[in-house]
Every structure is written in C-alpha cells, then in structure tokens.
Amino acid sequence: MTKTQRLAALLQLLRCHRYPVTAQRLAEQLQVSVRTLYRDILCLQQQGVEIEGSAGLGYLLLSDGHLPPLMFSRHEIDALVLGLHWVRRHTDAELTAAARNALAKIQAVVPGSLATAIDDPSFLIASRGDALHDRHVPAIRQAIHQRLKIQLHYTDLNAVSSTRTLWPVVIGYFDQVRLLSGWCELRQDFRHFRIDRIDAVQVSDTHYPGTRHQLLKRWRDARNLPRPGDS
C-alpha cells in the first residue's frame, strides 16, 4: 500500500467513526505502526483535513473539506439510507462493510442539514419482507420529518377501533407487516401500530415538544437500543 492509498484508507476509517477512536486501533486496522499512524494524521491535518484529538485520547474527523457537497433531496437520502441499512442487515460481511463505508462517505460530503437525516433515520430494517401496505407511509414519513403530531384511526387485532394522537418516531419493516412506533398521548408511553391496521391518518400542524433527536433517544432508551455508530 502506497502512502497515498494509506492516507485515503485512514480518512475512510475516520469517516466510519462518529466518536473518537484511538491511534492504536487505527494502526491495527491499517496494519502500520502507531508512529506511522501519528505521522499520517499530521499529514492529513496539514492538507486541511479537520481531525480533532491527540495521542492517548483518540481522534475524530470533523470535516475533510476535500469533497464538494452532494446534491441529494431528503427523499433521496431516505432511499439511500434505507437501502444501505438493509444491506448491512441481510448480506455477507464484505457487503456489510461496503454499505457501512458508503454510508460514511455520503455523510461526509452532504450538507449538514441532510447529514442529520443519516444520524436520525426515519426507517428501520428489522427483517426481510415484501413491500406491503404503503398507503399511509408517505403521510407518516412527512410527519416524522417535520416533527408533527398525527391522529390515527386504528383497528386492533380484536377488531376494536380507537383514535390516537401519536408523536411518530420510526417505521419498522418486518416480514409481513410494517410497524409504526411513537409516543401515544392516550397511553402516555411508546406504542407500536401495524400500518396495515391503520384506517386513516391525519397529519396535524402541531409540533410535539422537544426535538426529533430527543424523542428518538427516549424511544431507543426505552427499548435499550444502541445509538447509530456504537457498533
């Protein structure tokens, strides 16, 4: 591996970490000495790459500043993130790593307003499944993106109908169903609703309190789910 190739590989490794990573770990992944790693970090910094950290504390890529922003729409980002997360869940180790790297590259070059869509995705890949029951998904997706409350008219498995005001968090894709998760004002807790059992959805013009990131964190904490980038 030439120095140019090694610097590119180091930059890609840093893109894949959202939290500081030690020089020792980076050196092991690149199969170089820690001393060489320190020199490569300094070389990248001298080229204008914003790398924060120091020996013993770890390093974090703030911005590489080398690539122009990619002009994706929010729906295109949703499509890319959904597809790449599916690959990460359902393919072999090589393609899983390739999907992770691709996601990191996209996040490194899109404007900050779109990068948040990668940090806090509106969709989850749970398991293999067919494209079923899409009728209400666009409205729910709009509410998730815009941090709006929605009103659901829902019929449960016992054929009991109810109306709920929900703060939508994520849509989960399962084998036979799609599941909407959110904070239910009636139950004062997070609840899950099969989208195929939703009779109607109304998106309100009322924002729920706090940010979507805060709501998503509460939902993850309630389910003991890791943050993106922790694995």
Same domain, 102 and 148: no
Is 25 among the domain residues?
A: yes
Same domain, 108 and 163: no
pTM of the model: 0.55
Residue 146, domain extent: 137-223
CA terminus-to-terminus distance, the chain = 27
Q: What is the CATH number of the domain that holds 169?
A: 2.30.30
Give which of 154, 156, 148 is closest to 136, Cα–Cα: 154
Is 199 among the domain residues?
A: yes
For CA atoms 224, 222, 75, 12, the dihedral sign is: negative
Strands (DSSP E) found in the chain: 50-54, 58-63, 123-125, 148-155, 161-173, 178-184, 189-194, 198-207
| Phi, psi angle pair for 147, to nearest 5° | 60, 45
Is 124 among the domain residues?
A: no
According to the model, what pLDDT value does residue 226 have? 63
Same domain, 215 and 155: yes
Is 229 among the domain residues?
A: no
Residue whose token pair is 């070059």? 109
Residue that wins the pLDDT comparison between 56 and 158: 158
Is 230 among the domain residues?
A: no
Is 19 among the domain residues?
A: yes
Is 50 among the domain residues?
A: yes
According to the model, what pLDDT value does residue 175 have? 63
Is 82 among the domain residues?
A: yes
Same domain, 141 and 219: yes
Same domain, 36 and 85: no
- Structural domains counted in the chain: 3
Q: What is the CATH number of the domain that holds 25?
A: 1.10.10.10
Confidence of residue 94 (pLDDT cuts 50, 70, 90): confident
Whole-angstrom CA distances from 13 to 136, 173, 216 are 39, 29, 27
Structure tokens at 218: 């509460």
Q: What is the pLDDT of residues 105-154, one digit of tens each?
A: 888 878 777 777 777 777 777 655 444 456 788 899 889 999 999 999 99
Same domain, 144 and 211: yes
Same domain, 186 and 212: yes
Same domain, 89 and 146: no
Same domain, 40 and 86: no
